[in-house]
Amino acid sequence: MMSNLGDPTDQLATDFAMRFTSTPRGARLARRLVGVRLQECGIPYGTDAHDDIVLITAELAANAVRHGHVAGRDFHVRLSLLGSTARIEVSDTRGERVPPRPGELGEPGLSDGGRGLVLVSRLASAWDWHVRGEGPGKTVWAECGVEVPEGESL
């Protein structure tokens, strides 16, 4: 899928970025802080856009903790807004474990895992991943359309 915001190396209008401990608690905190930030920016709790972005954040952060964990290293979350597109990026430092590309996802079976990226692919208008340019690991990103009230920004 093609990103609506351009190449991953393009400069984005970043308004929220933070590192979190690579633990389930860190993933929960990332999800909650993204939700609070969206609310503060006029994308209220309970709207489809808010719920979709928070759920995508939860899935990507949980994957960073479960599949991207490196002892002693955090994961990074970035929330950006450009026009009517919100972009969430989650970076970890484990480069040898990469997710499948969009279009390569199979249908999940009855196992306990394997549904997160399928969910992301259905909620996001675009998603993919790339190798981190500033260090080891990868960044998984997803984009969603949002309606931001006039005069508001992230």
- Reduce the secondary structure of 54-89 to three states and give it as a string: HHHHHHHHHHHHHHCCCCCCCEEEEEEEECCEEEEE
In whole angstroms, give the CA distance from residue 61 to residue 48. 20
Is the Cβ–Cβ distance between 144 and 86 less than 8 Å?
Answer: yes
Residue 152: predicted pLDDT? 55
Residue 65: predicted pLDDT? 96
pLDDT at residue 4 above 70?
no
Question: Roughly what angle, to the nearest 10 degrees, separates helices 24-40 and 48-67?
Answer: 160
Residue 142: predicted pLDDT? 98
Mean pLDDT of all residues in 65-76: 93
Q: Coil, helix or strand for 48?
A: helix
Both tokens assigned to 36: 């609070």
Residue type at 94 in one-letter notation: R
Both tokens assigned to 55: 């759920």
Q: pLDDT (tens digit, 9 = 90+) per residue, 32-60? A: 999 999 998 888 999 999 999 999 999 99
Residue 135: predicted pLDDT? 81
CA distances from 106 to 34, 96, 100, 102, 116 (A): 29, 20, 9, 10, 12
pTM of the complete model? 0.83
Residue 108: predicted pLDDT? 61
Q: Minimal CA–CA distance to 85: which of 151, 153, 36?
A: 153
Mean pLDDT of all residues in 66-81: 93
Residue 104: predicted pLDDT? 84
Please report which confidence band the pLDDT of residue 12 belongs to, taking 50, 70 and 90 as the band edges: very low
pLDDT at residue 114 above 70?
no
CA distance from start to end of the chain: 25
Q: In what order do the strands lie in the sheet with 75-82?
A: 14-20, 75-82, 85-92, 138-145, 126-131
